[in-house]
Amino acid sequence: MILTLTPNPSIDRTIALAGELARGQVQRVASVTAQGGGKGVNISRASVAAGIPTVAVLPAGKDDPFVIELLTAGIDCKPVLPAGGLRTNLTITEPDGTTTKLNSPGATVGRQHLDAMTSTLLARAATSDWTVLAGSLADGTPDDFYADLVRRLHDCPSKVAVDTSDRPLAALVDALPASAPDLMKPNGEELASFSGADADTLESDPAATAAAARTLIDRGVGAVLATLGAGGAVLVTADGAWHATPPPTTVVSTVGAGDSSLFGYILGDIRGLTPPERLALAVAYGSAAAALPGTTIPGPDDVRPALVAVRQLDLIARELT
């Protein structure tokens, strides 16, 4: 079972333009879609599609349309005390796949809201294979909220994955090794934010990405899945480093691609795949998501891991041992 926590969920509204975005102009819209979202929610959607049991913990009213939608989609949803209404995130996609996101902050939370999330999560982590802490934190949440949760989850048998950015990511890294999760999934920019490396270099150089990710392994993190957009992804563990490139993909929307990659890796772990095979499945899920419109999350029929090219970074692997 995959347990997900989405502390700051959103209603994701996607506007697909018929042409290139032109600032200050009136433009024709090809389509508009909306659905309940957030990183953890996206992973739970992928889990349901793959036939893996999942529980999604998030702040919302029990009768909120957001919760009803998730339940209707087959997601076992555990809503906890919300601080206010759900935020709305707007995504604008262009025909060439260029994606522009406008994310609102969400309601300001208090201690009672954080305690409700924490207790609900910990109560269910005892029976989960993986617990995923994902996304931004609402205003009022301490930066070290995820770091503290990881420390508390060390007492549970569940493996822990974290996918976040900005101050919560910095706080998690600062708290290593006490807060070390089993898996971290930064992108190139996020990895650069604390490793001192150049973000553009990481996006284009898998060897540099592996070296930067290794700094997290040295501080107790079990595995680092660094997603690099069109450049695929790099996986680093204590045993080695690998780079995977996706098959040719017509990008429609990049929203949810990173979440799908994270799910693909976790699914591979649950299936007992080797690290390179998990990486291939992760990249296959990510590229499949990029080929789908809006925030559509791929299912198993959309994924082609056999078309993903994986190579061991031999030089980096030797340097890391």
Domain ranges of the chain: 2-320
Distance CA 180, CA 287 (A): 28
- pLDDT for residue 142: 97
Question: SS3 of 309, please?
Answer: strand
The residues assigned a catalytic role are 259
Fold (topology level) of 2-320: UDP-N-acetylmuramoyl-L-alanine:D-glutamate ligase (3.40.1190)
The amino acid sitting at 149 is L
Q: Which residue has the tokens 């939370």?
A: 109
Residues paired with residue 310 on neighbouring β-strands, in sequence order:
244
CA angle 293, 296, 302 (to 5 degrees): 95
- pLDDT for residue 321: 39
Cβ contacts of residue 164 below 8 Å, gap of 6+?
133, 134, 135, 136, 137, 146, 172
Q: How many CB atoms lie within 10 A of CB 219?
A: 14
- pLDDT for residue 317: 42
Q: Which residue has the tokens 């910095």?
A: 170
Kindly tell me the sign of the dihedral angle through the C-alpha atoms of 270, 271, 272, 274.
Answer: negative
Cβ contacts of residue 319 below 8 Å, gap of 6+?
211
- pLDDT for residue 104: 87
Q: For residues 258 and 283, is the Cβ–Cβ distance under 8 A?
A: no
Distance CA 145, CA 148 (A): 5
Mean pLDDT by 10 residues, the chain (321 residues): 96 90 90 88 96 97 93 95 90 88 90 97 96 96 98 95 97 97 96 90 93 96 95 96 92 86 98 98 96 86 95 62 39
Q: For residues 39 and 28, is the Cβ–Cβ distance under 8 A?
A: no
